[in-house]
Amino acid sequence: MSLIDAAAAVRLNAHAPYSGFKVGAAILSQEGRVHLGCNVENVAYPQGTCAEAGAIAAMIAAGDRRIAAVAVIADCPAPVPPCGGCRQKLSEFAAPEVVVTMATTAGALLSMTVAELLPGAFDAGFMVHAEKGAL
Ligand code: THU
C-alpha cells in the first residue's frame, strides 16, 4: 500500500465532528515502518490535534526517530497543506530535503520538501549560546 493510500485509510477514522474536515497522515520512518495519524477534535476546540501530530506521536511511541517521507490527505479543492504548527513539528524529526506529499481525496497531488514548507526554520543550531539551567 502506498503512503497516500495509508493516509487515506486512516483519514476515515478521524474524529472531526466540529469542523467536518477529516485529515489523514502517514509517515514512513527511516527505520522503515509506516506510522499513521488522523485529526482528533475536542469540544474544547484548542485541545484538538492534527493528523500530522498524531502520526508523529505514533512514530515516537513505536520507537522510531526520523522521518523519511510524509503523506497528508483531505477532501478539499487543492492538496491539503500542513498547518504552521505541524510544519514545525515535522521539522523536528525530518531533514530539510524530506518530501511531504499533499493530496486530495479526488486524486490531486503536490509534493514539497520540509524546507520549502518551512523556510528559515528555527532549529537547535540557534540555541548554541543558550544558558543552561538559568532558571
Ligand atoms: N488539520 C489537520 O489535521 N492537518 C492539517 O494539515 C490541516 C488541519 C485539521 C485540524 C482540524 O481538526 C481540522 O483539520 C480543521 O482545521
Model confidence pLDDT, tens digit, residues 109-122: 999 999 999 999 99
Q: Is the CB of 59 inside a 6 Å radius of any atom of ligand 1? A: no
**pLDDT tens sequence across 122-135:** 999 999 999 887 66
pTM over 0.85: yes
Q: Any idea what the Cα angle at residue 16 is, between residues 62 and 37, rounded to 5°? A: 15
Longest dimension (CA), the chain: 52
Q: Is the CB of 4 inside a 6 Å radius of any atom of ligand 1? A: no
Q: What fold is seen in the domain 3-127? A: Cytidine Deaminase; domain 2 (3.40.140)
- For the chain, what is the mean pLDDT? 97
Q: Is the CB of 122 inside a 6 Å radius of any atom of ligand 1? A: no
Instruction: For ligand 1, atom 4, name the residue with the nearest CA.
Output: 50
Per domain, the residue ranges of the chain are 3-127
Alpha carbon of 29 to ligand 1 centroid (Å): 22
Closest CA to 115 of 90, 80, 79: 90
Name the residue of 18, 47, 50 to mutate for ligand 1: max ligand atoms within 8 A of Cβ.
50
Which stretches of the chain drop beneath a pLDDT of 50? none
pLDDT of residue 78: 98
pLDDT of residue 132: 81
Instruction: For ligand 1, atom 5, name the residue with the nearest CA.
Output: 82
Q: Catalytic residue, from 31, 52, 116, 131: name it.
A: 52
CB-based contact 22:16 (threshold 8 Å): yes
- Tell me the residue type at 47: Q
Alpha carbon of 93 to ligand 1 centroid (Å): 20
